[in-house]
Amino acid sequence: MRNSRNSIDTVKLPYPAWAEVDLDRLHHNVDVIHSAAKVPLLPVIKANAYGHGANVLASQLVRRKEVTGLCVWTMQEAEALRREGIKGRIVALGGVLPQEAKLAVELCVEPVVGSVAQARAMAGVASKRKPAAVHLKVDTGMARLGTDRQDAFDTMAKISRMESLSLAGMMTHFAFAGVKKKAVREQVESFEDLLEAIRGAGYQIPACHAANTAGIFLHPESRFQLVRPGIGLYGIQEFSGPDVGLKPVLSLKARVSWIRDVSKGQTVSYGGIWKSPGKRRVAVVSLGYADGYSRLLSSRVHGIINGEKTKQIGVICMDVSMFDITRTSAGEGDYITLIGSEGAHSIGALDLAQVMGTISYEVLCGIGNRVRRIYHRSGKVDRKLLMRVF
């Protein structure tokens, strides 16, 4: 195993594939986001923190004074955090099923509701001794979840009369946050008009939240009293405009498990879509589409090994992918960087997403559980976290 190119002692890691998660960069991104938002944060760590490991990132985020709670999607995600000892507010953005309401109350999880029926399910299992809190979601243009705007006033009024149930927040969600300012402005105005009507009727408005990462940086009017940063926490700027200073948190790496020589005209991998133009050294790398390295990338991307770019060749398989390493000094046991920076070269999740015709969210969320997460700060692997399985 020849290459030890980082301050992280990667050579000694006994894994075929792993994702390095830089906790210093996570905290840097929190600083950048809060500086722009100027209000408390409700970080979104659903879907295993977009593939970064929700348990570890939650434990980091709850230490920050800027963070007032965490957002997940399901009760299963919320329950997993509670089992890991995560205290404080947890908002379940996807709401809860009626049969999950009791668990939500027991775990002090704040579900999002979009109807009187959903609120009643929570109120029915809550009590004065064990009250429940919910967030009312209003649909202002997403046409997905939440109460219709024309029903929102009535829903708010009925929730306010439910004993043992408190309204912890009101929220909406943007359909075009990163691309259409006019559409966002219209949604904000629709939400504000509703809030004004509720306020005018004598009801007290709880903390409101709407802005995701793009909203925080592009739409100051959307910040309200709380914001819900998601992809920005992980260092990805999915919206256009000047670089706001976020740093990618995750790097994806895998071992060279086998090297073989191929001759001119020989094909590599399924279907023979790649034919060798001459004598070539081919590395078989221990990462495939089952691990999140999409088949859509086949023969269209590069990796970085020993500081050199190396082309991926042939169809990416379920468990492995192949690279032309003829011009490198790579050997078996060396690792290749598939997302991340090394020397003069860099490969971002956004780069892979563009090749796939998708967004960086899908690239990061797709990294499978066979890929070990390695957490580090100040260039050193956290050995305590290394002992845990994620």
- 46 carries an active-site annotation: yes
- 270 carries an active-site annotation: yes
Q: Is 323 helix (H, G, I), strand (E, B) or coil?
A: strand
Q: Cβ-count burial of 186 within 10 angstroms (0-12 exposed, 13-18 middle, 19+ buried)?
A: middle
Q: Where are the alpha helices (DSSP H) in the chain?
A: 23-37, 46-51, 54-61, 75-83, 101-106, 116-125, 149-160, 181-200, 213-218, 349-356, 360-365, 383-386
The one-character DSSP state at 343 is: T
The one-character DSSP state at 107 is: T
The one-character DSSP state at 204 is: P
Joined together, the tokens standing for residue 210 give 């709407």
Taking CB atoms within 8 Å and a gap of at least 24, the contacts of 84-91 are 84/55, 84/58, 84/59, 85/59, 86/55, 86/58, 86/59, 86/62, 87/62, 88/62, 89/42, 89/168, 91/42, 91/135, 91/169
Query: Among the options 181, 270, 279, 380, which is catalytic?
Result: 270
CA distance 127 to 197: 30
Q: Are 217 and 238 in contact (CB under 8 A)?
A: no
CA distance 367 to 186: 36
Rg from Cα positions in the chain: 24
Q: Indicate which residues carry an active-site annotation.
A: 46, 270
